[in-house]
Structure 1
Amino acid sequence: MRLLTRTTRSVSLTEAGERLLDRIGPHFDEIESEIAALSELRDKPSGTVRITTVEHAAETILWPGLQPLLVEYPDIGVEIISDYGLKDIVAERYDAGVRLGEQVDKDMISVPICAPFRFAIVGALDHDCIRLRLPTHGGFWIWDFAKDGRDMKARVQGRTAFNTGFMMRQAALSGFGVAYVPEDTVEAELRDGRLLRVLEDWCPLRPAYHLYYPSRRQPSPAFALIVETLRYRRGN
C-alpha cells in the first residue's frame, strides 16, 4: 500500500510537470528570441562619440571620412569639437582627440589618420604676419622652418590675429599679410594666383594627425568602428 502511494505521487508530479511544460513550452522560443535580440542590441554599433580636434583635421579628414559611416549606421552619432587647445580628454569626457603625432602623450593609444602633410606660407600683398591665437597660456602658433638639416622656430609679429584658419586665409586673400596654413587648404587659391607662396623651400613636412584615446578604455562597437574607418592606410 505504501509503495502504491509513492508510485501514485510520482505519476502525479510527472503529469503536473507535463502540464506546466505544455503551458510554458510555447514561450521558450519567444524568450530565446528576446535574449538573442538583447545580445544583438548590445553589440550593435550605437551611441555618440565625442572627438576634440583642430579645425583643419575636422574639415579635411574627420567629417569627410565619417559621413558615409553615419549614413550606413543611423544609430551612431558624432560630436566633433574644433579647438586648438590641448585638452585632457579624460577629464573633459571626450572619447578621443586628434592632434599631430608629436603632440600625443606616450600613454595614449595613437592611430594615424592621414599621411604627413605640408604647411605653406602664403599671401597676396603685404608681408605682415597673420597669426593664429592659441587658447593655451594665451600664446600664438609658432612657425616652424627647416632646410638642409637646419630647424628654426619663429614667434612672428603682426597686426592681425585670429583663432580659425578660415579667417587667416580670408585676411591673406584681402592683402593683410602672409599666413602659415596647411597647404591643402589653399590649393585652389595658389593655382589661380590669388595667393602666392613665400619661403616655399623652408616649409617641411609635418607629422600626420593621430586619433588618440586612453589605453585603459574598453572601446564600444561604435567607437571601434570609427577608429577603423579613420585609420590611415598607405595607398588611401
Structure 2
Amino acid sequence: MAREDFNDYLAFLAVAQERSFTKAAAKLGVSQSTLSHIIRRLEERLGLRLLMRTTRSVAPTEVGEKLMSSLQPRIEEIEADITSLLLLRDTPAGTVRLTVSDNGIHECVWPKLAPVLKNYPDLKVELAQENALVNVVEGRYDGGVRLGESVEKDMISVRIGPDWRLVVVGSPDYLAKAGVPQHPSELVNHQCINMRHPGSGTIYAWELEKDGQAIRVRTDGQLTFNSVYPMFAAVADGYGLAFLQETLVAEGVKEGRYQIVLDDWCPFFAGYHLYYPSRRQMSSAMAVVVNALRHRGPVRAM
C-alpha cells in the first residue's frame, strides 16, 4: 500500500478548522487554487466527500467531522512532542503566535520584543493585531495580550505592563467653544468621539469613578472608530472629547494640543497581561517571549 501524504491531511484540517479556503490558504502559505486541488485529490484518493462547499461557506461533512476529530488530537500530540524536543536545544527556536490589540502592540509588546529578538535568530514571532477578544485555543495562538480584567480565569496570566487610566481629553479650541464639563453627566451635551468594540459591535461606554461612585456614560458624537489611533487627530482637529489612554496623550497635553478634563473622575485600569493556556507545556521560544515581556517596574503608570 502506498504511503499516505500527510500534508494533504494537514491541509484538510486547516480548511475544516478555519471553515474557509481563503483563511486556510493564508495560514498554510499556499494559493487557494493549490489548496482546492489538494483537498480534491485527497477526497478522490479516499473516495469520500470530506467538505461541503457553498459560495459563502465551507463545513466538514459527517465523515469529515470524524476525520477531523481523529486527526486533531494526534497532531496536537505530535506538536507537543516536538515542543518538548526543542526544549533540549541550546538556542530557543520555533514560532510564537500572539493575538494583540493595536494599542498593545505599539505601547507594550513591540518596544520590549524588538531589542530581544535580535539575540534569537531562530525564534519567529507572529503578532496578530485584533482588537476583539479572541479565544487563543480555538485560534491556535500560543497566547494573547489584553488588559488584566479581560483575561479569563482559566488562563495563566503574566503582567507585562503597569496599570494605567483612560482620561477625557479635548482640544483647547473645542473646549473654549463648548465649555469644560465639570461632571460626567454634562458629557451628554458634548460631541464625543467614540470607540466601537470590534467583537460585540457595541459602543464603549465611558467608565468614570470618583469617591466610590462609578458612572458609565453612553456618549454621542459625529465620529466613531474601532482603533484608538485615528482618535488623536480627531481630538486635535476639534471634533470633540475622547476617552484615551493617558500615556498616549501625555506628550500632546504637554505641547498644548490636548487638555484633560474630569481628571478626578478618571480611574486606573488593570494593565496589559500576557495570557496563555495552562495545559500547554511552555516551549523555549515562548519562555523567551514571556521573559522579555514580563513587567518589572512599578504597578502604576505615570
Aligned equivalents of 2:258, 2:166: Cα separation in 1? 14
Partner of 1:21: none
Q: Given the alignment, which residue of 64, 77, 80 partners 2:127?
A: 80
Residue 70 of structure 1, CA deviation: 0.9
**Structure 1 counterpart SS, 2:257:** coil
Amino acid at match of 1:44: T
Amino acid at match of 1:91: E
- Structure 2 gaps of 5+ residues are 1-84, 179-189
Partner of 1:91: 138
Q: Following TM superposition, where does structure 1 have runs of at least 4 consecutive aligned residues deviating by more than 3 angstroms?
A: 38-43
Structure with the greater alpha carbon radius of gyration: 1
Larger RCO: 1 or 2 (CA < 8 Å, sep 6+): 1
Partner of 1:26: none
Amino acid at match of 2:135: D
> Is 2:265 the counterpart of 1:233?
no
Partner of 2:267: 204
**Structure 2 counterpart SS, 1:87:** coil
Residue 162 of structure 1, CA deviation: 0.9
Instruction: Report matched runs for 1:26-105 at 5 Å.
Output: 42-105=89-152
Residue 98 of structure 1, CA deviation: 0.9
> Is 2:185 the counterpart of 1:122?
no
Partner of 2:215: 152
Q: CA 1:73 to 1:139, structure 2 compared with 1: closer, same or farther past 3 Å?
A: same
Q: How many pairs align?
A: 199
Q: Given the alignment, which residue of 237, 257, 263 partners 1:174?
A: 237
Aligned equivalents of 2:98, 2:218: Cα separation in 1? 29
Select the structure that is richer in strand. 1
Q: CA 1:143 to 1:78, structure 2 compared with 1: closer, same or farther past 3 Å?
A: same
Aligned equivalents of 1:96, 1:49: Cα separation in 2? 8
Residues 131-164 of structure 1: CA deviation (Å, up to 9, x unaligned):
1111222112221101011111122111101111
Contact 1:52 1:83 in 2 (8 A): yes
Contact 1:43 1:221 in 2 (8 A): no
If the length of structure 2 is used for normalisation, what is the TM-score? 0.63
Q: CA 1:98 to 1:151, structure 2 compared with 1: closer, same or farther past 3 Å?
A: same
Amino acid at match of 1:55: D
Amino acid at match of 2:128: I
- Structure 1 gaps of 5+ residues are 1-37
Partner of 2:252: 189
Q: CA 1:129 to 1:105, structure 2 compared with 1: closer, same or farther past 3 Å?
A: same
Residue 39 of structure 1, CA deviation: 7.7
Amino acid at match of 1:52: T
Partner of 2:23: none
